[in-house]
């Protein structure tokens, strides 16, 4: 499953970078860039076994309209809003969360970039405190179990994107793609 999810993301990213390079280089906001990448992800997802999943920008609600929260590395509960997520909106309790993407421009400061990375580590963990009682009816208290976390940093000057993959609470791969 994870290989297919990575393939979906990589195809969407490749098409976004190829087709939207002028838009990307125009200096638009991070939010606008996320909206465009979301469209490419939605198109790729629609043609797969994950077609019932939704791609949302800055989604911050969980089952029943509760704020999405995570526990950070210091076990502090914090509300979260990801730049882009692919999830079932609570319709698939077995695997609600597929992809969490945090996008940054390379000009952002290191503290903000590291906060996004910390968020992706927390989101891709299988559980918090190694406890998650999966009964097929109840979601965990804090958001977790994203199959893939993606840190996506756009460098306009160098015309490339730094991409980092997080899985199971750890950085698994990083690489650079030109556009």
Q: What is the mean pLDDT of residues 124-148?
A: 62
Q: Give the Cα separation of 30 and 19 in Å (integer).
A: 17
Residue 33 pLDDT level (bands cut at 50, 70, 90) = very high
pLDDT value at residue 94:
78
Predicted confidence (pLDDT) at residue 144 exceeds the cutoff of 70: no
Token pair for residue 20? 């939207």
Q: Report CA torsion sign: 66, 69, 54, 83.
A: positive
Instruction: pLDDT band for 66, please (50, 70, 90 cuts).
Output: low
Asked if 131 and 144 count as a contact pair (C-beta separation under 8 A), the reply is: no
pLDDT at residue 79 above 80? no
pLDDT at 21: 97
Assess if CATH 3.30.160 describes domain 2-178: no
């Amino acid at each position: 499953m994870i290989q297919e999810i990575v393939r979906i993301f990589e195809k969407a990213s490749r098409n976004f970078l190829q087709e939207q390079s002028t838009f990307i280089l125009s200096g638009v906001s991070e939010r606008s860039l996320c909206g465009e990448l979301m469209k490419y992800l939605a198109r790729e997802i629609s043609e797969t076994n994950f077609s019932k999943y939704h791609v949302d920008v800055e989604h911050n609600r969980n089952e029943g309209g509760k704020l999405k929260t995570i526990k950070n590395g210091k076990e502090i509960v914090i509300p979260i809003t990801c730049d882009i997520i692919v999830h079932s909106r609570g319709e698939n309790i077995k695997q609600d969360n597929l992809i969490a993407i945090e996008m940054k421009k390379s000009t952002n400061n290191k503290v903000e970039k590291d906060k996004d990375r910390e968020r992706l580590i927390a989101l891709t963990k299988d559980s918090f405190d190694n406890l998650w009682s999966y009964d097929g009816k109840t979601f965990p208290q804090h958001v977790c179990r994203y199959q893939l976390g993606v840190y996506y940093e756009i460098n306009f000057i160098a015309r490339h994107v730094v991409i980092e993959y997080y899985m199971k609470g750890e950085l698994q791969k990083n690489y650079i793609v030109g556009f």
